[in-house]
Amino acid sequence: MKLVIGLGNPGKKYENTRHNVGWLILDKIAGKKTGWQESKKSNCFYLKEKINHQEIELIKPLTFMNNSGQTVAHIQKKHNIKNENIIVIHDDLDLPLGTIRLKLDGSSGGHNGLQSIIDHLKTDKFIRLKIGIANDQRNIIPAEKFVLQKFNQEEKKALEKIIIKSVDILNEIINKKEVKEKTFYL
């Protein structure tokens, strides 16, 4: 089984914000299915899928971004999942909108949700799909406010292409035995 974790924050206030791009991608994978279930023990929404005969569990932590590691560690232990079968989708302030970076390990780069996962798993060895969210306002607005902004109309058009490409990349990751780091530009 593979876990695909989309990082984000729960609640209407955070819907469609830059920080919730992980959730937006999971919603695209799920399509029109309304089978998201809530796990009180794991503190998440989850949906089980089969992609090309592989069992996948889509996870939306409900712990708020900075405590995402609690959910990921609980589910990893519950299902006895190897680190290389954990895929985390998250926003990246340092990448421009339209850039997607596939990484196999590394630091959190200051991303609190990612740092929480690293701390709880006690390793940085898991797959990340980093989604660039930066625009020309990135260096003007403090990071904690910037990530909670909604995408403007022009960015929403680009975001749809980013989401579709991210789903394609995830399908490739799920189907391959060996994954290599790569950067995609749209």
Q: Which residues are catalytic?
A: 19
Contact call for residues 7 and 65 (beta carbons, < 8 A): yes
Please name which of 158, 144, 161, 26 lies closest in space to residue 93, comparing C-alpha atoms: 144
**178 secondary structure, DSSP code:** S
- Contact indicator for 84, 128 with CB cutoff of 8 Å: no
Given a contact cutoff of 8 angstroms between Cβ atoms, the answer to whether 3 and 72 are in contact is yes
The length of the chain in residues reads 186
The rounded distance, in Å, linking the Cα atoms of 67 and 121 is 12
The tokens describing 96, both together, are 């421009």
Q: Are 146 and 18 in contact (CB under 8 A)?
A: yes
